[in-house]
Structure 1
Amino acid sequence: MSGLMLRESRDLRPVPRNLPKEVQISPSASTAEIYSSIAEASGFSIHRLRITKGSDRTVVPNSKTANVDGTGLKGQSIVHVKDLGPQIAWRTVFIIEYLGPLLIPALFLFPLRPFLYYNFDKPLPDPSDLQLLVCGLLMVHFLKREFETVFVHRFSNATMPARNIFKNSAHYWVLAGFNIAYWVFRPDAAAATTEPNPNLLYPGLALFVFGELANLNAHLVLRDLRRPGTTERGIPSGFGFNIVTCPNYLFEIIAWLGVYLVSGLSWSVLFFVTIGGAQMASWAAKKERRYRKDFGDKYKRKRSVILPGIF
């Protein structure tokens, strides 16, 4: 048995006073047992705790496959325990994030329409068929997101700090919800026309359908790489993965470019695509670096992480 000496981390809020000064853990035990032992003694959820080695401050993983001895912890090793604060499940976070832009388009287009566009001549014209179509595309997209959140995605981290829910939701509620809905559904918007441009409408619909289906396929591939209840990953392969690191992001952008065309080239949709694309590009670059680090020569390196031949 190894005796791990515990210390509170001082750079964040302290852990409860009943934190034990020492826990006895077998060197062959999983590192998850360190977390469960400290959580049981302190009365805090495992997900609120971060444990780092006193020697180099590297994080001790909460893993059922990694053992204590493999982390370099020995008898009387010191670990630092940090309270991360109230947590919220990542699945719940995504459900809340997508709920706003799922409901806002229909609210703006119907019950809130007289109040949002009060300064236009009365009576307000009914929404055009094209505006109804854009509303439908937005709702289909975020319904798909909600479906994937509940039935497809497997999360490497169970929770995130609860205080971050507002920051995370703002991107979707404000940029994909309020911003797009207000401008695209205005009575004088390009999408208010009764004669849609077929050169924008039909290519836009084709891009949207292709992007959504290809994105779903990519998410299913990624889902199958991770066994339920684990954080282990494999090397993804299949449609799109031989071209870029993150084809799910590529297909997401393609679907939104379809919405952009159908909307009559609304700047609000393009703005959301640009901001979201920049963020996804950053995530994709980090994922490419992680694949190279984790899998070494087994991984076929990609020159483009999200946009073929561009980035």
Structure 2
Amino acid sequence: MHYVNRAIIYPLRMNRSSQPVPLVVILSAVAFTALNGYLQCFYLGHIEKLNPLTISASGVHNLQVLVGISIFFIGMGINIYSDGVLRNLRSQNKDTNATTRRYYIPKGVFFTLISCPNFAGEILEWLGFAIASNFSLPSVAFVCYTASNLVPRGIAHHEWYKNKFEEYPSERKWAVIPFIA
């Protein structure tokens, strides 16, 4: 579901004035996603023999799967909502001139404490998947990879916002994870 949103729905909803994405970035994302998907499925289907979307006979595992799936969907909701806020900044501020690139401070419920709730949501998604898949090695590795990729990017975005806007909200002290980073 995440990749359907990220690969199909998200690009279709992007503003026409968005900067183009280089082909090498697209091909790298496709290759990485294919490899990650293969590793996740191979491990769960052939090594662990666990389907994370099927509830097992163990009551404890049932709860773990349900908690993991719930966290995944909460993260996905945060990610989609926050991407929408960011995507619509220019249209909400009546900036329709594609020749002028103006930037705005994002506002919304998830932007209260952190600068990049879209990154936080994505990390939550994969943490939920790791929980639901019984902390399989590939799922835990992917959470670590995702966090190690998105937290530094979020910190860089947070610093850019603070440097770009004198009026950046002072209560927005963290980049991706409230009270931590």
TM-score by length of 1: 0.49
Match for 2:164 among 288, 294, 307? 294
Correspondence for 1:223: 87
Q: Which of 230, 233, 236 is the matching residue for 2:106?
A: 236
Greater Rg, structure 1 or structure 2?
Answer: 1
Q: Aligned equivalents of 1:155 and 1:179: distance in 2? A: 36
Segments of 5+ residues of structure 1 without an aligned counterpart are 1-139
| Residue 174 (structure 2) aligns with | 304
Q: What is residue 142 of structure 1 aligned with on the other side?
A: 3
Contact 2:158 2:174 in 1 (8 A): no
2:117: which partner in 1?
247
Which protein, 1 or 2, shows the higher relative CO under an 8 Å CA cutoff with sep ≥ 6? Answer: 2
TM-fit CA distance, 1:157: 2.4
Kindly indicate which of the two structures has a greater share of residues assigned to strand.
1
Residue 185 of structure 1 pairs with residue 38 of structure 2: no
Distance 1:247 1:154 in 2: 23
Partner of 1:52: none
After superposition, the Cα gap between the structure-2 partners of 1:168 and 1:267, relative to the gap in structure 1 and judged at 3 Å, is: same
Residues 1:291 and 1:155: Cα distance change in structure 2 (over 3 Å) = farther
Q: Secondary structure at the match of 2:19?
A: coil
- Residues 1:183 and 1:231: Cα distance change in structure 2 (over 3 Å): farther
For the 8 Å contact 1:288–1:305, the answer to whether it is kept is yes
* 2: CA distance, partners of 1:152 / 1:195: 43
Q: Which residue of 2 aligns with 1:158?
A: 20
Counterpart of 2:57 in structure 1 is 195
Check conservation: 1:226, 1:233, Cα contact below 8 A.
yes
Aligned equivalents of 1:153, 1:278: Cα separation in 2 = 28
Summarize the Cα distance change of 1:164–1:235 in structure 2 as closer, same or farther, 3 Å threshold.
Answer: closer
The CA distance in 2 between the partners of 1:174 and 1:206, in whole Å, is: 25
Counterpart position of 1:172? 33
Residue aligning to 1:46: none
Amino acid paired to 1:189: E
1:258 is aligned to 128
Runs of 4+ residues over 6 Å off in structure 1? none
The residue that corresponds to 1:94 in the other structure is none
Give the secondary-structure state (helix, strand or coil) at the position aligned to 2:109.
Answer: coil
Cα displacement string for residues 248-277 of structure 1 (whole angstroms, at most 9, x for unaligned residues): 111111111111111121110111111111
Correspondence for 1:204: 68
Distance 1:213 1:154 in 2: 24
* TM-score, normalised by the number of residues in structure 2: 0.81
1:190 and 1:263 in contact (8 A); partners too: no
Q: Is the 8 A contact 1:152 1:219 kept in 2?
A: no
TM-aligned CA distance change 1:245 to 1:167, over 3 Å: same
- CA RMSD in angstroms comes to 2.2
| Structure whose residues are more often helix by fraction | 2
Instruction: State how far apart, in whole Å, the 1-side matches of 2:118 and 2:25 are.
Output: 24
How many residue pairs get aligned? The number is: 168
Quote the Cα distance in structure 2 between the aligned partners of 1:309 and 1:261: 23
Task: Indicate the percent of aligned positions where both proteins have the same amino acid.
Answer: 23
For residues 176-204 of structure 1, give each alpha carbon's deviation from its aligned partner in whole angstroms, at most 9, with x where no partner exists. x1221211111x41625842512211111
